[in-house]
Amino acid sequence: MSTTTAGGSGTAARGARPRRRTARTRARIDDVWTYLGLLAVLLFFGIPLLWMVSLAFRNQQEILVTTINPVPDHPTLDNFGQVLRSAQFPRFLLNSAILSAIGACGAIAVAAPAAYAFSRMRFRGRPVLLVGVLALQMVSPLVLAFPLYRYFASLGLLNSLPATGLVYIAILMPLATWMLKGFFDGIPRDLDDAAMIDGATRWVAFRRIVLPIAMPGLTAVFVITALLAWAEFVVPFILLTSPAHLPISVGILNLQGTYATNSTGILAAGSVIAVLPAIVLFVVLQRFIVGAFVSGALKG
Amino acid sequence: MAAPTLDTTRSRQGAIARPHPPGSRRRAPDHLAWLAPLLAMATLFFLWPLINVIRLAFTNSTLLRDDYSYTLSTFGQALTDPSLPGVLVTTVIFVGASVAGQLVLGLLIALIIQRAISRKLRGAVLVRSVVLSAWVMPGILIGVIWQIVLNEGPFGLVNSALASVGLAPVSWLSDTKLAVLSVVVANIWRGTAFTMLLLYAALLTVNPDLYDAAKVDGARKLRTLWHVTLPQIRPVLLVNTVLITIATLNTFDMVLALTGGGPAQATEVLALHTYNAVFVNFNLAGGCVLALFLLLASLLLTAFYSRVLPEEQR
C-alpha cells in the first residue's frame, strides 16, 4: 500500500500527461514480459515436437551427430518410406481410424438421446442419474479392462475391433452426455414445444429441430471424443493382442521394440505420421474445442 | 428434388401412424426410452465389470487357469507385497508433482495468453495450438518423444545441448531419482493444456469491474491475482484439480514408453503396477485388489468434488 501511494504521488507531481505516458510505457514493458512468457512456453512445448520432426528427416549418419542442428544437412524421406512400407504401420493407422470412428459416432448416438432427456424432461432420479453419469467418467478404464478381458476371452472377442469399439463407446459416452446436455440446454425449449404443438412427436422434434441447431456442439463433441479415442491406450492394450488389430496408440510401442536405437529416425517418422491426423483435425477445428470449453465454463 | 418432399411427408405420416415412438407420453415413463441406450451401455461396460472386479478381488484367480475359489488371502498378499510401499511413494510423488506443476504452469499460460489476446499481441494462438498439440497426442508417443529428447545416446537433445556448452551428459532415464523427475516433467508437458484450457475459459468469466476496482484500490498484480482472480475461478480450479488428479493417478502409457517403470521400479506408478500384476505376473485377483485401490482413490476424490462443488456453484 505505502509503496503504491508513494509512486502515485510522484507521478501526480509531474502532471497529468507524463502519468498517462508512464501508464502506456508500463503496458509496453508488460507486453515485453508477455512476449517473453509466450516464447518460453513455445520453446518448452515446441522443441520436443520440433526435435522429433527433425529426427524423422535425418539419415542414419546424421542421427548420430552430436551437435544440435535442427535442420539436417541431407534431409531424407527414407524413414517415412520405411515406416509406410512396413507391414504393420498402415494397419495400425487404419485400426485407429476404425476405432475412433466407432467410438465417436457411437458415443454421440448413445449420448444424444440421453442428453436430450436430461435437458428437456424432469423425472424422478434425474439429479442422481446426472451425477451417476459424471461418476462413470471417474472410473479408470484400467479397472474395467480386467474383467472385460476375462469375458472377451471366454466369448472369443479378444482381437475383435467391433467389440473393442463398444468399450470405446462406453468410456466416451459420459463426457459426450454432459457436453451435449450443455449444448441442448442452450437451445430454447419453445422450439421443440412449438413443433410438438404442430403435431410432431418428441422424437421428430429432437431429430428435425434440436439436432440440426446443435450441429456445432455435435461437431465439438465428435472432435473431442475422436481425439480421445485416437489416444486411448489401456483398452486396446489389454483387449487387442495381435499386431494386426492394434491401433497406433499401442502399435508405436511395438515399433519402439522392433527397431534398435540406431533407427530412431524411423521411430520419429512413425511418431510424426501417428500424431499428424490428430493435430490436423485438432488445429482445423480448434475453434470448436476452445469454444466448447468456454461455453461450458460460462455456464458453470 | 422430389426426394426431400417425399421424405418429409413420409415421416409425418409415419409419426401419425405410429403415435408413440420413443418419446411418447402415454406409455410408461417417458424418459426411460431416451435413456435406455446409455443405461444399457453403463450396465454392460461399467456396472457389470465393477461388480466382477470386486468379486474377483476375493478369489485366487489367475490368468493361467479358469477355475478359482473364494478367499480373503489375496487382500493380505497384495497389501503386504514388499514392493507396494515403494510404488505408493512413487505414485504420490508422480501425481502430486504432476498436478502441482500442471496447475501452476497451466494458470501461468492461461494468464499470459489471456493478456496477449486482450492486448492483441501476436503469436498467442500459435502458442495455444502448440501446447494443445501435446495434449492430443497418444501417451505412448509422448513417452517415445521424451525418450528421444532425454536419451543418453548421441541423438538425445538435452544431453547434446549440455555437451555444446561443455557440460557432462546427465543420465536422465537411468538414474533412479532423475528418472522420476523426467517422468514428472514429461507428464506436465503432456497434461498442462487441459488445465490451461479450463482456466483460460474460467478467466474470461471474471467480471472486469473487479480488476478495475482492485486497481483503484492500488492493489499490485500478484495481490489482484491472489485476492480477486483466484477466488473468482475457485470452482473451476477445484474441478480441474480433481479431474487431473484422477487422470494422472490412472495413467501409465507415457511411463511405459519412457522408462518402462524402471530403472529398478523407480518410476513404477500404481496404475502400471496394477497392470503388471495381471499381465506380467498373471495374478488377476491381486490386480483386482489394486484396481479397487485405484477406484477407491478416484471415488474419494469424486466425493470430495461433489461435496465441495454445489455450495460453490449455488
Are B74 and B58 spatial neighbours (Cβ–Cβ below 8 Å)?
yes
For residue range B218-274, list pLDDT tens digits in order. 777 788 888 888 888 887 888 888 889 988 998 888 998 888 887 888 888 989 998
Are A285 and A219 spatial neighbours (Cβ–Cβ below 8 Å)?
yes
Q: Please judge whether A37 and B133 are an interchain contact, meaning their C-beta atoms are less than 8 angstroms apart.
A: no
The CA distance from B183 to the nearest CA of chain A, in Å, is 14
For residue range A6-41, list pLDDT tens digits in order. 444 444 444 455 556 677 888 888 888 889 999 999
**Residue A94 confidence (pLDDT):** 92
Are B60 and B71 spatial neighbours (Cβ–Cβ below 8 Å)?
yes
Residue B157 reports pLDDT greater than 80: yes
Percentage of the residues of chain B whose pLDDT score is greater than 90: 19
**Chain B residues in contact with A264 (beta carbon < 8 A):** 148, 151, 153, 155
**Residue A296 confidence (pLDDT):** 60
* DSSP code at position A263: G
Average pLDDT over residues B119-130: 85
Work out the number of other CB atoms within 10 angstroms of the CB of residue B8: 11
Residue B301 reports pLDDT greater than 90: no
Buried b (16+ CB within 10 A) or exposed e, A138-166: bbbbbbbbbbbbbebeeeebbeebebbbb
A195's grid cell: 413443433
Q: Please judge whether A279 and B157 are an interchain contact, meaning their C-beta atoms are less than 8 angstroms apart.
A: no
Q: Could you give the angle at the alpha carbon of B45 between the alpha carbons of B67 and A254, nearest 5°?
A: 80
**Residue B80 confidence (pLDDT):** 82
Domain assignment present for residue B74? The answer is no
- A237/B contact by beta carbon, under 8 A: yes
Cβ neighbours of residue B179 closer than 8 Å, sequence gap 6 or more: B172, B173, B259, B262, B263, B266, B267
- A70/B contact by beta carbon, under 8 A: no
Q: What is the DSSP string of A156-186?
A: T-TT-HHHHHHHHHHHHHHHHHHHHHHHHHT
**Residue A66 confidence (pLDDT):** 60
Domain assignment present for residue B19? The answer is no
**Residue A278 confidence (pLDDT):** 78
Which of A69-78, A156-165, A193-202 bottoms out in mean pLDDT, i.e. has the lowest? A69-78
Ranked by mean pLDDT, which of B78-82, B94-98, B191-195, B285-289 comes out on top?
A: B94-98
**CB nearest B291 (choices: A114, A143, A177):** A143
Domain assignment present for residue B59? The answer is no
Could you tell me which chain B residue has the CA closest to the CA of A140? B250
Q: Please judge whether A143 and B53 are an interchain contact, meaning their C-beta atoms are less than 8 angstroms apart.
A: yes
**Residue A97 confidence (pLDDT):** 92
For residue range A35-52, list pLDDT tens digits in order. 999 999 999 998 888 888
Terminal-to-terminal C-alpha distance of chain A: 35
pLDDT band at A243; cut points 50, 70, 90: confident
**Chain A residues in contact with B309 (beta carbon < 8 A):** none
The CA distance from A281 to the nearest CA of chain B, in Å, is 10
Residue B25 reports pLDDT greater than 70: no
Domain assignment present for residue B191? The answer is yes
What is the reported pTM? Answer: 0.81
Residue matched to cell numbers 497529468: A16
**CB nearest A140 (choices: B24, B218, B294):** B294
**Residue B40 confidence (pLDDT):** 94
**Residue A65 confidence (pLDDT):** 64
For residue range A244-277, list pLDDT tens digits in order. 899 988 888 877 766 655 577 888 888 888 888 8
Q: Please judge whether B220 and A237 are an interchain contact, meaning their C-beta atoms are less than 8 angstroms apart.
A: no
Are A204 and A195 spatial neighbours (Cβ–Cβ below 8 Å)?
yes
Q: Please judge whether A249 and B140 are an interchain contact, meaning their C-beta atoms are less than 8 angstroms apart.
A: yes
**Residue A18 confidence (pLDDT):** 56
User: A24: burial class by Cβ within 10 Å (0-12, 13-18, 19+)?
Assistant: exposed
Domain assignment present for residue B71? The answer is no
B182's grid cell: 523426467
Summary mean pLDDT of chain A: 82
For residue range A165-189, list pLDDT tens digits in order. 999 999 999 999 988 988 888 888 8
Cβ neighbours of residue B65 closer than 8 Å, sequence gap 6 or more: none
Are A63 and B155 spatial neighbours (Cβ–Cβ below 8 Å)?
yes
Which of A214-218, B16-20, B131-135 bottoms out in mean pLDDT, i.e. has the lowest? B16-20
Domain assignment present for residue B29? The answer is no
- A66/B contact by beta carbon, under 8 A: yes
pLDDT band at A67; cut points 50, 70, 90: low
Q: Please judge whether A203 and B21 are an interchain contact, meaning their C-beta atoms are less than 8 angstroms apart.
A: yes
pLDDT band at B109; cut points 50, 70, 90: very high
Q: Across the A/B interface, how many CB contacts are shorter than 8 Å?
A: 301
Give the distance between the most distant pair of CA atoms in chain B.
83
Residue A81 reports pLDDT greater than 80: yes
More confident residue, B300 or A109: A109
Average pLDDT over residues B172-179: 87
- A221/B contact by beta carbon, under 8 A: no
Q: Please judge whether A5 and B31 are an interchain contact, meaning their C-beta atoms are less than 8 angstroms apart.
A: no
Domain of B302, in residue numbers: 84-313
- A94/B contact by beta carbon, under 8 A: no
Residue matched to cell numbers 461433489: B306
For residue range A136-168, list pLDDT tens digits in order. 888 888 889 888 998 898 898 889 999 999 999
Cis amide bond preceding A70, omega within 30? no
What is the three-state SS of chain B?
A: CHHHHHHHHHHHHHHHHCCCCCCCCCCCCHHHHHHHHHHHHHHHHHHHHHHHHHHHHCECCCCCCCCCCECCHHHHHHHHCCCHHHHHHHHHHHHHHHHHHHHHHHHHHHHHHHHHHHCCCCCHHHHHHHHHHHHHCCHHHHHHHHHHHCCCCCCCHHHHHHHHCCCCCCCCCCCHHHHHHHHHHHHHHHHHHHHHHHHHHHHHHCCHHHHHHHHHCCCCHHHHHHHHHHHHCHHHHHHHHHHHHHHHHCCCHHHHHHCCCCCCCCCCCHHHHHHHHHHCCCCHHHHHHHHHHHHHHHHHHHHHHHHHHHHHHC
**CB nearest B31 (choices: A4, A117, A237):** A117
Q: What is the DSSP string of A219-257?
A: HHHHHHHHHHHHH--HHHHHH--SGGG--HHHHHHHHHH
Residue B314 reports pLDDT greater than 50: no
- A155/B contact by beta carbon, under 8 A: no
CATH of the domain at B155: 1.10.3720.10
Q: Please judge whether B38 and A35 are an interchain contact, meaning their C-beta atoms are less than 8 angstroms apart.
A: no
Q: Please judge whether B29 and A123 are an interchain contact, meaning their C-beta atoms are less than 8 angstroms apart.
A: yes
Q: Please judge whether B38 and A148 are an interchain contact, meaning their C-beta atoms are less than 8 angstroms apart.
A: no
**Chain B residues in contact with A278 (beta carbon < 8 A):** 136-138
Q: Please judge whether B246 and A131 are an interchain contact, meaning their C-beta atoms are less than 8 angstroms apart.
A: no
Domains contained in chain B, number: 1
B105, B108, B145, B311, best to mutate vs chain A, most A CBs in 10 Å: B145
Asked casually if ipTM beats, i.e. exceeds, 0.90, the reply is no
Cβ neighbours of residue B282 closer than 8 Å, sequence gap 6 or more: B62, B63, B64
For residue range B42-77, list pLDDT tens digits in order. 999 999 999 988 988 888 778 777 777 787 777 888
**Residue A173 confidence (pLDDT):** 95
**Residue B212 confidence (pLDDT):** 80
- A52/B contact by beta carbon, under 8 A: yes
pLDDT band at B189; cut points 50, 70, 90: very high
Summary mean pLDDT of chain B: 81
- A278/B contact by beta carbon, under 8 A: yes
**Residue B8 confidence (pLDDT):** 39
Are B94 and B87 spatial neighbours (Cβ–Cβ below 8 Å)?
no
Residue B22 reports pLDDT greater than 80: no
Q: Please judge whether B288 and A35 are an interchain contact, meaning their C-beta atoms are less than 8 angstroms apart.
A: no
**Residue A100 confidence (pLDDT):** 94
Q: Please judge whether B204 and A283 are an interchain contact, meaning their C-beta atoms are less than 8 angstroms apart.
A: no
**CB nearest A35 (choices: B121, B218, B295):** B121
Percentage of the residues of chain B whose pLDDT score is greater than 70: 88
What is the Cβ-side half-sphere exposure of residue A188, based on CA atoms within 13 angstroms? 5
Average pLDDT over residues A202-228: 87
Domain assignment present for residue B37? The answer is no
**Chain A residues in contact with B256 (beta carbon < 8 A):** 253
B130, B194, B200, B258, best to mutate vs chain A, most A CBs in 10 Å: B130
**CB nearest A290 (choices: B148, B197, B295):** B197
A11, A69, A138, A223, best to mutate vs chain B, most B CBs in 10 Å: A138
> What is the rounded distance in angstroms from the CA atom of residue B183 to the CA atom of residue B180?
5
Domain assignment present for residue B265? The answer is yes
pLDDT band at B29; cut points 50, 70, 90: low
